[in-house]
Structure 1
């Protein structure tokens, strides 16, 4: 069930326009194409950003890391957003925002952010940033699960070197209940990460007002980057300017986190493994496809 969205604490929302008004968070499972979408949108000075994934925004605070009292995963609810944490996170976010290519931030431009772990933190983010909006990106589970598997194999996406009761390092986001994956095959872990990220995010988003979020399929973005980018700019209240028009007029460049060259049938290298876990993903896949 989605967690109820509480009212923001007194004093957080301001009538005056500030540097963190109406931030936009891209919410997505890991390895779902969110870096490409983020880098596309961040090409315009109409958005400020942190220049990349901002794991530090949350995990620089020891109380919010797995292993802290009451914290055994990346899941964060509104209750974890104490007044002191809200003030600290908003201050560092304001100080570290930048324009495209590290230029000075554009005054009045909303903050754009994407970190896959945030798929598990929407109630927390909504408490810290009461007028936040969310772009929910999802990807075909066959492709996404395959990419998650490849990330685990590559060893370049390790997030936790050690976890109690887990053999070896852990890669990518850490959903609640990760302990039950101990000893499971890689495809089972990858499918569970895809399902957990998308299901938790979608449940949380559907408890928000409709105007606070929108959804996009990764395939739709690849098929029509200009059209999808224009729609997302309209949602965010940002101009589809010359920088974005130029960016989406030509073939999109590879994102910085590309592991191997894109190919529509790349998931087939893991086909046998993925087909073993796909039945458990079909209900959520249908739900996503019908957003």
Structure 2
């Protein structure tokens, strides 16, 4: 592929969510519109292709990054690396002077200030899922072994799965359900704290249950927020039941989380203040 010129990134649409909260389904739904370009899936390489942002590098001990971690040189390099991978809705390489980027990588939910510095006009779509369902799915992902992000994490016994939240070191020796609840809670809390520092017209909240119940209404809401047209491609994609996303472990069904209920239910009372904040956040 020839040398790619770096396009003008106009109001990127960045989905932020805890892992296993339905963000792949939301990303794949929005990716069908020709109005958006995306990096072809989750872009873990975009940040972690820079060794200084890997956990264990100086000043980095988790997936948390702030504006202070971004230099002008890295910003230029990131935008050009992204340009090389960008595809349109059909999967063809991007060839436009200005693009609307669609991005979704769960680890980036802990890096909102970093991405806000990289793209000062970004639009953040915050997706959240009820704790029982989301924590159950995180537990299942750990047990399935297919979501290992750090096979050898210094200071941790065995492989680590999914995003690495600040404070993970204190979880050593903790039962898996508590690790999963910590990942869910810390990610959602961090997202809300960070989005409160950003103008309200650049953040939009989606509940996963609403998205499942009426995908067209939710996507219309996202379009209105992001300045996109609810075009025929989006209308067709949301016209019936959503297809399973590429990261689905087992098909969605109501009450699926209950197989882990005995492990999850004791954790819910401690999460109540966060749950109340999520329901009120908008």
- TM tier relative to shorter chain: over 0.9
Equivalent residue for 2:230, pick from 225, 233, 240: 240
Query: Which residue of the partner structure matches residue 159 of structure 1?
Result: 149
Please say if residues 19 and 94 of structure 1, whose CA atoms lie closer than 8 Å, have aligned partners that are also in contact: no
1:209 to 2:196 alignment:
no
1:180 to 2:170 alignment:
yes
| Secondary structure class of the residue paired with 1:260 | coil
Structure 1 residue 91: deviation in Å?
1.3
Equivalent residue for 2:138, pick from 129, 132, 148: 148
Please say if residues 85 and 93 of structure 2, whose CA atoms lie closer than 8 Å, have aligned partners that are also in contact: no
Please say if residues 62 and 68 of structure 1, whose CA atoms lie closer than 8 Å, have aligned partners that are also in contact: yes
The CA distance in 2 between the partners of 1:163 and 1:73, in whole Å, is 11
Please say if residues 40 and 85 of structure 2, whose CA atoms lie closer than 8 Å, have aligned partners that are also in contact: no
The CA distance in 2 between the partners of 1:95 and 1:39, in whole Å, is 20
1:52 to 2:41 alignment:
yes
The CA distance in 1 between the partners of 2:92 and 2:214, in whole Å, is 28
Equivalent residue for 1:257, pick from 218, 225, 247: 247
Query: Which residue of the partner structure matches residue 52 of structure 2?
Result: 63
| Secondary structure class of the residue paired with 1:90 | helix
* RMSD of Structure 2 on Structure 1 (CA): 1.2
Equivalent residue for 2:29, pick from 40, 57, 61: 40
Please say if residues 126 and 205 of structure 2, whose CA atoms lie closer than 8 Å, have aligned partners that are also in contact: yes
Runs (5+) with no aligned partner, structure 1: 1-17
Structure 1 residue 104: deviation in Å?
3.3
Structure 1 residue 101: deviation in Å?
3.3
Structure 1 residue 165: deviation in Å?
1.9
| Secondary structure class of the residue paired with 1:49 | coil
1:82 to 2:52 alignment:
no
Please say if residues 39 and 87 of structure 2, whose CA atoms lie closer than 8 Å, have aligned partners that are also in contact: yes
The CA distance in 2 between the partners of 1:279 and 1:163, in whole Å, is 31
Q: Cα deviations across residues 77-105 of structure 1 (Å, max 9, x unaligned)?
A: 10000111111111112232110131232
The CA distance in 2 between the partners of 1:212 and 1:92, in whole Å, is 25
Query: Which residue of the partner structure matches residue 189 of structure 1?
Result: 179
Q: Cα deviations across residues 102-140 of structure 1 (Å, max 9, x unaligned)?
A: 123263441000000011000000111111110000000
Q: TM-score, normalised by structure 2?
A: 0.95
Distance 1:77 1:215, change over 3 A: same
Query: Which residue of the partner structure matches residue 103 of structure 1?
Result: 92
After TM superposition, the structure 1 = structure 2 runs for residues 134-145 of structure 1, keeping only pairs within 5 Å, are 134-145=124-135
Q: TM-score, normalised by structure 1?
A: 0.92
Structure 1 window deviating more from structure 2 (261-270 vs 87-96): it is 87-96
| Secondary structure class of the residue paired with 1:101 | coil
Structure 1 residue 236: deviation in Å?
1.3
Equivalent residue for 1:276, pick from 260, 266, 270: 266
The CA distance in 1 between the partners of 2:171 and 2:245, in whole Å, is 30
1:223 to 2:213 alignment:
yes
The CA distance in 2 between the partners of 1:92 and 1:130, in whole Å, is 18
| Secondary structure class of the residue paired with 1:48 | coil
The CA distance in 1 between the partners of 2:72 and 2:130, in whole Å, is 39
